[in-house]
């Protein structure tokens, strides 16, 4: 009676086992993974990225010198604000789009006092053209001890090297009294 064993017909009798369910689960997980990687910064944290990889976006000059030249730099500080303006020349053979001037202010104790990013105008800085930037920074209670100016490309792009060609403004010498 081996051939007369009891067989029950169910809706799963003709299926191929668990394979379709496992395949569907992997497909759903794959789609979710793609969405998470595309819409969050998970990939930036998981993948080993060196900041030097973005240096290929920095324009170059044929002689190897810095691509930007700081031509003028003016500053005016009172007790509460620091006003900075200047001009920069694009020394490359290409157009720079969306160049930003980054001003990092330090207080009189050389502690960081804040960073301000301002656009260089015009937004499309043609080859050999001059762009202008200006900003007013509100100072903290410790005043200003100094500041740094750098230039960078937009959207968290790399910093673009520059050389300081602006004339030095000599400050009067302070004489010590007895």
Which tens digits make up the pLDDT trace of 27-50?
999 999 999 888 888 777 777 666
C-alpha span between 84 and 75 (Å, rounded): 5
C-alpha span between 28 and 22 (Å, rounded): 10
Task: Give the model confidence (pLDDT) of 156-168 as tens digits.
Answer: 888 999 999 888 7
pLDDT at 3: 62
pTM (predicted TM-score): 0.65
Coil, helix or strand at residue 36? helix
DSSP states of 27-42 as a string? HHHHHHHHHHHHHSSH
More confident residue, 14 or 59: 59
Task: Give the model confidence (pLDDT) of 53-95 as tens digits.
Answer: 667 778 888 888 999 999 999 988 887 888 999 999 999 999 9
Coil, helix or strand at residue 17? coil
Distance of CA 158 to the CA centre of its chain: 6
Task: Give the model confidence (pLDDT) of 97-153 as tens digits.
Answer: 999 999 998 888 888 888 999 999 999 999 999 999 999 988 888 888 888 999 999
Fold adopted by 60-164: Immunoglobulin-like (2.60.40)
Neighbour count for residue 106 (Cβ, 10 Å): 16
pLDDT at 130: 96
Domain residue ranges in the chain:
16-49, 60-164
Full 3-state SS string of 160-177? ECEEECCCCCCCCCCCCC
Residue 16 clears pLDDT 70, i.e. is over it? no
């Amino acid at each position: 009676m081996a051939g007369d064993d009891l067989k029950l017909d169910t809706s799963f009798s003709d299926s191929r086992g668990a394979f379709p369910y496992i395949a569907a689960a992997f497909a759903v997980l794959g789609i979710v993974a793609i969405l998470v990687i595309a819409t969050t910064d998970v990939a930036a944290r998981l993948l080993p990225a060196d900041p030097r990889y973005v240096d290929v976006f920095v324009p170059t000059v044929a002689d190897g010198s810095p691509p930007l030249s700081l031509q003028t730099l003016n500053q005016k500080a009172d007790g509460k604000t620091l006003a900075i303006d200047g001009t920069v020349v694009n020394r490359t053979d290409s157009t720079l789009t969306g160049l930003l001037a980054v001003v990092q202010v330090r207080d009189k104790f050389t502690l960081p006092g804040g960073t301000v990013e301002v656009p260089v105008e015009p937004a499309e800085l043609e080859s050999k053209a001059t762009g202008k930037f200006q900003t007013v920074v509100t100072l903290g209670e410790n005043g200003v001890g100094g500041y740094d100016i750098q230039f960078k490309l937009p959207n968290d792009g790399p910093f673009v090297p520059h050389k300081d060609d602006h004339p030095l403004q000599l400050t009067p010498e302070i004489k010590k009294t007895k």
